[in-house]
Structure 1
Amino acid sequence: MLLNKLIHLFLLEKEYRPLHSNELLDFIQRKYIQEEMSIVEYKKLYSELDKLKAEKPQSYIMDSIYLYDTISIPS
């Protein structure tokens, strides 16, 4: 039921059906960051998407690792 609502919201906003659960993960993360979704809603949806093995692309993870490797913090 929860995922059906999410897919419907995605469809209304994007005007196409999500092709993968990863798209829904990106969608809820953006909604949360833009304060269009509460933390409670986000956690519930994240949990459902996690069951579907939704994940961020590997390149996002690699970019973050690269960022931390290139920043030097003075001690």
Structure 2
Amino acid sequence: MNVHELTMKFLQTRNYSPENVNELLDFTKKAYIHDDICISVYRKLVRELEAQGAELPDFS
């Protein structure tokens, strides 16, 4: 799976397009937690999304 396929899955699941890469990052994490994607796919997607500017929220 790549970011384009992830975006299509997001669109099919949520019925709207993601507003930014952070929203896709959250969706990726949920997919991994719910065992929809394996760890290797998760890591690949996170790397791709971070390269596009995705960031974890700052909780400090």
Corresponding residue number in structure 2 for 1:57: 57
Corresponding residue number in structure 2 for 1:27: 27
Gaps of 5+ in 2: none
Greater helix fraction, Structure 1 or Structure 2: 1
Gaps of 5+ in 1: 63-75
* Alignment length (residue pairs): 60
Higher relative contact order (CA 8 A, sep 6+): 2
What's the TM-score, normalizing by structure 2? 0.91
RMSD: 1.3
Any runs of at least 4 consecutive aligned residues in structure 1 with deviations exceeding 2 A, and if so which? none
Structure possessing the higher radius of gyration over alpha carbons? 1
